[in-house]
Amino acid sequence: MIVLKLGGSVITDKERAETLDGDALDRAADAVAAALETPSESLADGLVVVHGGGSFGHYNASEHGVSTTAGTHDPTAIHDIHGAMKTLNAFVLSRLLEREVPAVPVHPFSAGHRDEEGELQLPTGQVTTLLEEGFVPVLHGDVIGHAGQGATIVSGDELVVELATSLEADRIGLCSTVPGVLDDDGVIDRIESYEAVEDVLGESEATDVTGGMAAKVQALLALEADASIFGLDGLASFLDGTEPGSTIE
């Protein structure tokens, strides 16, 4: 089983508020549809898709001063952030459904929460059931209830880690705007520790309230299974069973 994240910076223009990158989303949807037509061995037990917030979620979260640690008790802020993410999720679902991918939404705001220590609690029984019934569950970065903080952001990267662990994913992929984790010599083929790449990891240049590439690498290093970070050009090959971009051990 594969857990795939489509980065928000891939499917939206993060420099412009609530702006979809329709061409990139079409390319991603094409790759998913083609892979499911002739599934690789690792897709035998299904596919879960997670997408980031991009210029929809990050813009609204930033406007209201909400992040993965800074919460809000303002219902307007919650409606703005969650509403923007539902809009983006609807775009993703529509592109997949147009290609006969049996995609269905799972909204984290209604499914999980953070406890007082800030740990994400996300039951995955609904995702497992949907997979077993032949669907492709599509989750997304979202606002989420947080004990003592009102509501904070749950990032797509956090969801990937939680889903990959709970569902015992065989493979994890993060489709980004770059072909992998980069240093001065190009794409780093394999990463075994955060310390080895700490000096070359930077924050996102666009509005991002969830930590950029550094947070991605740290989250993926915590997983049992290897994960891949790759660009949109590598999505089809990843779904076919190869390891494009950077492999996070």
Burial of 172 (0-12, 13-18, 19+ CB in 10 A): buried
Residue 148, both tokens:
């003592």
Classify the C-alpha dihedral 138-140-143-148 as positive or negative: positive
Spatial separation of the C-alpha atoms in residues 71 and 176, rounded to whole Å:
27
- CB 80, CB 60: distance < 8 Å: yes
What are the binding residues?
A: 5-9, 53-54, 58, 156, 212, 216
What are the binding residues for ATP?
A: 5-9, 54, 212, 216
What are the binding residues for substrate?
A: 53, 58, 156
Q: How far is CA 238 from CA 52, 110, 174, in A?
A: 19, 31, 10
Strand order across the 47-51 sheet:
103-105, 136-140, 47-51, 2-6, 171-176, 227-231, 246-248, 190-191
Q: Report which secondary-structure segment, H or E, holds 60.
A: helix 54-63
Spatial separation of the C-alpha atoms in residues 8 and 156, rounded to whole Å:
9
Q: Using alpha carbons only, give the angle 210, 68, 65 rounded to the nearest 5 degrees.
A: 90
Burial of 34 (0-12, 13-18, 19+ CB in 10 A): middle
Residue 95, both tokens:
């592109």
